[in-house]
Chain A
Amino acid sequence: VQQHLISVGVGYVNLRIEKTTTTKKQTLFRYIIIAATNIRDKRRRRVVLSHIPTRFAFFATFASLIFPSLFAIQSNQSALRRNCKTIIKIEHTRDRFEVYATMLEAAINSGIKKFDILYEAYPDPRDFNAHMQLLIQNRLLIKEGHSSRDNSNGYYRTTNKGFVYLELYRELERLCPSLTIYVSN
Protein backbone atom coordinates (compact mmCIF):
# COMPACT_ATOMS: atom_id res chain seq x y z
CA VAL A 1 0.00 0.00 0.00
CA GLN A 2 1.42 3.33 -1.09
CA GLN A 3 0.60 6.21 1.07
CA HIS A 4 0.86 9.82 0.14
CA LEU A 5 0.14 12.20 2.88
CA ILE A 6 -0.84 15.77 2.23
CA SER A 7 -1.35 17.90 5.27
CA VAL A 8 -3.82 20.72 5.06
CA GLY A 9 -3.91 23.29 7.82
CA VAL A 10 -7.18 25.12 8.03
CA GLY A 11 -7.44 27.58 10.88
CA TYR A 12 -7.29 25.70 14.12
CA VAL A 13 -8.48 22.35 12.68
CA ASN A 14 -5.70 20.28 11.18
CA LEU A 15 -6.86 17.86 8.47
CA ARG A 16 -4.89 15.21 6.65
CA ILE A 17 -5.85 13.70 3.29
CA GLU A 18 -4.55 10.15 2.93
CA LYS A 19 -4.26 8.66 -0.55
CA THR A 20 -4.15 4.83 -0.65
CA THR A 21 -3.80 2.22 -3.40
CA THR A 22 -5.17 -1.22 -2.82
CA THR A 23 -3.09 -3.40 -5.18
CA LYS A 24 -0.17 -2.96 -7.55
CA LYS A 25 -2.12 -3.18 -10.82
CA GLN A 26 -5.22 -1.43 -9.70
CA THR A 27 -4.93 2.33 -10.06
CA LEU A 28 -7.92 2.97 -7.92
CA PHE A 29 -7.29 5.64 -5.33
CA ARG A 30 -9.22 6.09 -2.21
CA TYR A 31 -9.13 9.37 -0.39
CA ILE A 32 -9.69 9.20 3.31
CA ILE A 33 -9.75 12.25 5.43
CA ILE A 34 -8.22 11.81 8.83
CA ALA A 35 -8.78 14.48 11.36
CA ALA A 36 -6.39 15.16 14.17
CA THR A 37 -8.81 14.03 16.78
CA ASN A 38 -8.40 12.21 20.03
CA ILE A 39 -8.82 8.81 18.34
CA ARG A 40 -5.42 7.17 18.67
CA ASP A 41 -6.26 3.73 17.28
CA LYS A 42 -5.53 3.72 13.52
CA ARG A 43 -7.93 0.88 12.61
CA ARG A 44 -10.83 2.42 14.46
CA ARG A 45 -10.12 5.82 12.99
CA ARG A 46 -10.07 4.46 9.43
CA VAL A 47 -13.27 2.54 9.89
CA VAL A 48 -14.97 5.58 11.30
CA LEU A 49 -13.70 8.03 8.75
CA SER A 50 -14.13 5.85 5.64
CA HIS A 51 -17.81 5.86 6.41
CA ILE A 52 -19.41 8.13 3.77
CA PRO A 53 -21.70 10.19 6.02
CA THR A 54 -18.80 10.86 8.38
CA ARG A 55 -16.66 11.94 5.47
CA PHE A 56 -19.45 14.22 4.30
CA ALA A 57 -19.62 15.68 7.79
CA PHE A 58 -15.92 16.48 7.69
CA PHE A 59 -16.26 18.09 4.28
CA ALA A 60 -19.15 20.13 5.60
CA THR A 61 -17.10 21.37 8.55
CA PHE A 62 -14.23 22.17 6.20
CA ALA A 63 -16.55 24.16 3.92
CA SER A 64 -18.21 25.89 6.85
CA LEU A 65 -14.80 27.09 8.01
CA ILE A 66 -13.60 28.29 4.60
CA PHE A 67 -16.66 29.91 3.02
CA PRO A 68 -17.65 32.40 5.73
CA SER A 69 -14.12 33.83 5.74
CA LEU A 70 -14.34 34.40 1.96
CA PHE A 71 -17.66 36.14 2.33
CA ALA A 72 -16.27 38.23 5.17
CA ILE A 73 -13.41 39.48 2.96
CA GLN A 74 -15.82 40.40 0.19
CA SER A 75 -18.19 42.17 2.54
CA ASN A 76 -15.27 44.14 3.98
CA GLN A 77 -14.21 45.25 0.50
CA SER A 78 -17.74 46.25 -0.43
CA ALA A 79 -18.08 48.19 2.84
CA LEU A 80 -14.82 49.96 2.12
CA ARG A 81 -16.07 50.93 -1.33
CA ARG A 82 -19.35 52.17 0.07
CA ASN A 83 -17.77 54.27 2.81
CA CYS A 84 -14.84 55.75 0.86
CA LYS A 85 -15.70 58.51 -1.54
CA THR A 86 -12.39 58.57 -3.36
CA ILE A 87 -10.46 55.66 -4.72
CA ILE A 88 -6.80 56.33 -5.36
CA LYS A 89 -5.63 54.26 -8.27
CA ILE A 90 -1.96 54.19 -9.16
CA GLU A 91 -1.29 53.42 -12.81
CA HIS A 92 2.24 53.37 -14.06
CA THR A 93 3.75 52.04 -17.27
CA ARG A 94 7.50 52.15 -17.38
CA ASP A 95 9.10 54.23 -20.06
CA ARG A 96 12.10 53.00 -22.07
CA PHE A 97 14.28 55.58 -20.31
CA GLU A 98 13.14 54.26 -16.95
CA VAL A 99 13.93 50.68 -17.92
CA TYR A 100 17.46 51.72 -18.92
CA ALA A 101 17.83 53.62 -15.64
CA THR A 102 16.78 50.61 -13.56
CA MET A 103 19.15 48.38 -15.49
CA LEU A 104 22.01 50.81 -14.87
CA GLU A 105 21.09 51.14 -11.21
CA ALA A 106 21.24 47.36 -10.88
CA ALA A 107 24.81 47.37 -12.20
CA ILE A 108 26.11 50.26 -10.07
CA ASN A 109 27.95 48.16 -7.51
CA SER A 110 31.09 46.42 -8.71
CA GLY A 111 29.66 44.33 -11.51
CA ILE A 112 26.62 42.14 -11.91
CA LYS A 113 25.71 39.15 -14.04
CA LYS A 114 23.38 39.49 -17.01
CA PHE A 115 20.75 37.29 -15.40
CA ASP A 116 20.84 39.38 -12.22
CA ILE A 117 20.17 42.55 -14.23
CA LEU A 118 17.15 40.78 -15.73
CA TYR A 119 16.07 39.69 -12.27
CA GLU A 120 16.47 43.09 -10.60
CA ALA A 121 15.32 45.48 -13.32
CA TYR A 122 12.44 43.35 -14.70
CA PRO A 123 12.65 44.52 -18.32
CA ASP A 124 10.60 42.79 -21.00
CA PRO A 125 12.60 39.58 -21.58
CA ARG A 126 11.94 39.81 -25.32
CA ASP A 127 13.67 43.20 -25.46
CA PHE A 128 16.31 42.51 -22.84
CA ASN A 129 19.12 41.59 -25.24
CA ALA A 130 18.40 44.63 -27.43
CA HIS A 131 18.46 46.89 -24.36
CA MET A 132 21.76 45.41 -23.19
CA GLN A 133 23.27 45.79 -26.65
CA LEU A 134 22.19 49.43 -26.84
CA LEU A 135 23.59 50.24 -23.39
CA ILE A 136 26.91 48.57 -24.20
CA GLN A 137 27.13 50.24 -27.62
CA ASN A 138 26.55 53.65 -26.06
CA ARG A 139 29.15 52.88 -23.37
CA LEU A 140 26.71 53.28 -20.51
CA LEU A 141 27.37 49.70 -19.44
CA ILE A 142 30.66 47.88 -19.76
CA LYS A 143 31.40 44.18 -19.76
CA GLU A 144 34.21 43.28 -17.45
CA GLY A 145 36.43 40.51 -18.68
CA HIS A 146 37.26 39.19 -15.28
CA SER A 147 35.71 39.42 -11.87
CA SER A 148 37.73 38.94 -8.73
CA ARG A 149 34.66 37.84 -6.83
CA ASP A 150 34.49 34.31 -8.21
CA ASN A 151 37.07 34.38 -11.03
CA SER A 152 34.49 34.31 -13.79
CA ASN A 153 33.71 36.30 -16.91
CA GLY A 154 30.54 38.05 -18.00
CA TYR A 155 30.12 40.75 -15.39
CA TYR A 156 28.61 44.12 -16.26
CA ARG A 157 29.32 47.47 -14.60
CA THR A 158 27.87 50.96 -15.00
CA THR A 159 30.37 53.40 -16.51
CA ASN A 160 30.84 57.08 -15.66
CA LYS A 161 28.68 57.93 -18.64
CA GLY A 162 26.04 55.64 -17.17
CA PHE A 163 26.20 57.55 -13.90
CA VAL A 164 25.69 60.81 -15.80
CA TYR A 165 22.68 59.22 -17.52
CA LEU A 166 21.26 58.26 -14.13
CA GLU A 167 21.73 61.80 -12.81
CA LEU A 168 19.96 63.22 -15.85
CA TYR A 169 17.14 60.74 -15.44
CA ARG A 170 16.75 61.67 -11.76
CA GLU A 171 16.48 65.32 -12.77
CA LEU A 172 13.72 64.35 -15.21
CA GLU A 173 12.00 62.41 -12.45
CA ARG A 174 12.19 65.44 -10.19
CA LEU A 175 10.57 67.66 -12.82
CA CYS A 176 7.99 65.11 -13.90
CA PRO A 177 7.38 62.27 -11.45
CA SER A 178 6.38 59.13 -13.32
CA LEU A 179 3.89 57.89 -10.74
CA THR A 180 0.52 59.42 -11.45
CA ILE A 181 -2.35 59.25 -9.03
CA TYR A 182 -5.82 59.47 -10.47
CA VAL A 183 -8.46 60.38 -7.91
CA SER A 184 -12.02 59.61 -8.93
CA ASN A 185 -15.20 60.09 -6.96
Chain B
Amino acid sequence: MMMTTTSERKNNRGKIQIMGDVLALGTSGIKKTHIMYRANLSYEQVHLYLGELIAKSLIVQDVSSPDGIMYRTTERGREFLQYYTRLTEFLEEQVKEEEEEQQQPKVGLSAAAPYISGSWIR
Protein backbone atom coordinates (compact mmCIF):
# COMPACT_ATOMS: atom_id res chain seq x y z
CA MET B 1 0.00 0.00 0.00
CA MET B 2 1.39 3.39 -0.94
CA MET B 3 1.68 5.92 1.83
CA THR B 4 0.55 9.33 0.71
CA THR B 5 0.75 11.10 4.05
CA THR B 6 3.87 13.04 4.97
CA SER B 7 5.63 12.88 8.30
CA GLU B 8 4.77 15.42 10.97
CA ARG B 9 8.27 16.82 11.30
CA LYS B 10 8.72 17.60 7.62
CA ASN B 11 9.37 21.30 8.13
CA ASN B 12 11.54 20.89 11.20
CA ARG B 13 15.12 22.06 10.86
CA GLY B 14 17.81 19.44 11.07
CA LYS B 15 21.05 19.54 13.00
CA ILE B 16 23.12 20.87 10.10
CA GLN B 17 20.56 23.57 9.34
CA ILE B 18 20.50 24.80 12.93
CA MET B 19 24.30 24.77 13.07
CA GLY B 20 24.42 26.71 9.81
CA ASP B 21 22.01 29.31 11.20
CA VAL B 22 24.04 29.72 14.40
CA LEU B 23 27.30 30.03 12.47
CA ALA B 24 25.79 32.59 10.10
CA LEU B 25 24.74 34.66 13.11
CA GLY B 26 28.17 34.40 14.71
CA THR B 27 30.20 35.81 11.81
CA SER B 28 30.38 39.28 13.36
CA GLY B 29 30.16 38.18 16.99
CA ILE B 30 26.91 37.68 18.87
CA LYS B 31 25.63 37.08 22.39
CA LYS B 32 23.99 33.87 23.51
CA THR B 33 20.55 35.41 24.07
CA HIS B 34 20.64 37.00 20.63
CA ILE B 35 21.38 33.60 19.11
CA MET B 36 18.38 32.28 21.02
CA TYR B 37 16.00 34.87 19.63
CA ARG B 38 17.33 35.09 16.09
CA ALA B 39 17.80 31.37 15.50
CA ASN B 40 14.53 30.48 17.28
CA LEU B 41 16.12 28.13 19.77
CA SER B 42 15.37 27.38 23.40
CA TYR B 43 17.93 27.84 26.17
CA GLU B 44 18.70 24.11 26.31
CA GLN B 45 19.06 23.88 22.55
CA VAL B 46 21.43 26.85 22.45
CA HIS B 47 23.56 25.21 25.15
CA LEU B 48 23.60 21.92 23.26
CA TYR B 49 24.49 23.35 19.87
CA LEU B 50 27.00 25.91 21.14
CA GLY B 51 28.73 23.21 23.16
CA GLU B 52 29.00 21.00 20.11
CA LEU B 53 30.17 23.86 17.87
CA ILE B 54 32.83 24.88 20.39
CA ALA B 55 33.96 21.26 20.77
CA LYS B 56 34.38 21.00 17.00
CA SER B 57 36.09 24.43 16.94
CA LEU B 58 33.58 25.93 14.55
CA ILE B 59 32.77 28.76 16.95
CA VAL B 60 34.78 30.36 19.78
CA GLN B 61 33.87 32.10 23.00
CA ASP B 62 35.25 35.65 23.21
CA VAL B 63 35.44 36.52 26.90
CA SER B 64 37.60 39.64 26.53
CA SER B 65 34.98 41.78 24.74
CA PRO B 66 33.49 44.67 26.80
CA ASP B 67 29.88 43.67 25.98
CA GLY B 68 30.18 40.36 27.80
CA ILE B 69 30.68 36.86 26.44
CA MET B 70 30.49 36.89 22.66
CA TYR B 71 30.51 33.99 20.22
CA ARG B 72 32.48 34.31 16.99
CA THR B 73 32.64 31.96 14.01
CA THR B 74 36.13 30.61 13.33
CA GLU B 75 37.80 30.02 9.96
CA ARG B 76 36.73 26.40 10.17
CA GLY B 77 33.20 27.59 10.87
CA ARG B 78 33.28 29.90 7.85
CA GLU B 79 34.39 26.95 5.73
CA PHE B 80 31.46 24.93 7.11
CA LEU B 81 29.13 27.82 6.32
CA GLN B 82 30.45 28.04 2.79
CA TYR B 83 29.77 24.34 2.13
CA TYR B 84 26.39 24.59 3.83
CA THR B 85 25.25 27.53 1.68
CA ARG B 86 26.36 25.71 -1.45
CA LEU B 87 24.39 22.64 -0.39
CA THR B 88 21.24 24.65 0.25
CA GLU B 89 21.69 26.42 -3.11
CA PHE B 90 21.84 23.00 -4.74
CA LEU B 91 18.51 22.04 -3.25
CA GLU B 92 16.72 25.36 -3.81
CA GLU B 93 17.93 26.12 -7.34
CA GLN B 94 15.11 24.43 -9.19
CA VAL B 95 12.47 25.82 -6.86
CA LYS B 96 13.70 29.35 -7.57
CA GLU B 97 13.60 28.75 -11.32
CA GLU B 98 10.03 27.51 -11.10
CA GLU B 99 9.00 30.53 -9.04
CA GLU B 100 10.57 32.88 -11.56
CA GLU B 101 8.73 31.14 -14.38
CA GLN B 102 5.46 31.51 -12.52
CA GLN B 103 6.06 35.22 -11.83
CA GLN B 104 6.88 36.07 -15.46
CA PRO B 105 3.81 37.31 -17.37
CA LYS B 106 2.98 35.29 -20.45
CA VAL B 107 3.42 38.20 -22.89
CA GLY B 108 4.33 36.26 -25.96
CA LEU B 109 1.43 33.89 -25.81
CA SER B 110 -1.15 36.56 -24.98
CA ALA B 111 0.12 38.81 -27.77
CA ALA B 112 0.03 35.98 -30.26
CA ALA B 113 -3.25 34.61 -29.01
CA PRO B 114 -5.65 36.67 -31.12
CA TYR B 115 -3.78 35.78 -34.29
CA ILE B 116 -3.55 32.10 -33.36
CA SER B 117 -7.11 31.75 -32.21
CA GLY B 118 -8.47 34.36 -34.62
CA SER B 119 -10.76 33.55 -37.45
CA TRP B 120 -8.34 34.62 -40.18
CA ILE B 121 -6.22 31.46 -39.71
CA ARG B 122 -9.15 29.30 -40.49
Contacts and interface: CB of A to CB of B under 8 A. Distances in A.
B7 A124 contact: yes
Contacts of B98: 137
A175 B56 contact: yes
A175 B87 CA distance: 14
A171 B84 CA distance: 10
Contacts of A178: 15
> Could you say which interface size class chain A belongs to?
20 to 34
Interface string A134-150: 10011110000000000
Contacts of B79: 171, 175
B91 interface: yes
A80 interface: no
A183 interface: no
Contacts of B91: 100, 134, 138
A42 interface: no
A93 B14 CA distance: 9
A97 B80 contact: no
Given A97-B16, A138-B94, A140-B90, A126 B80 contact: no
Contacts of A41: none
Given A97-B16, A165-B90, A175 B6 contact: no
Query: Of residues B14, B79, B90, which shows the largest number of chain A Cβ atoms within 10 Å of its Cβ?
Result: B90
B5 interface: yes
A182 to B, nearest CB: 11
A96 interface: yes
Nearest to A172: B83
A110 B54 CA distance: 41
B10 A168 contact: no
B35 interface: no
A90 interface: no
Interface of B: 3, 5-7, 10, 14-17, 19, 52, 56, 58, 76, 79-80, 83-84, 86-87, 90-91, 93-95, 98
Given A97-B17, A137-B94, A137-B98, 4 more contacts: A95-B16, A172-B16, A175-B56, A177-B56
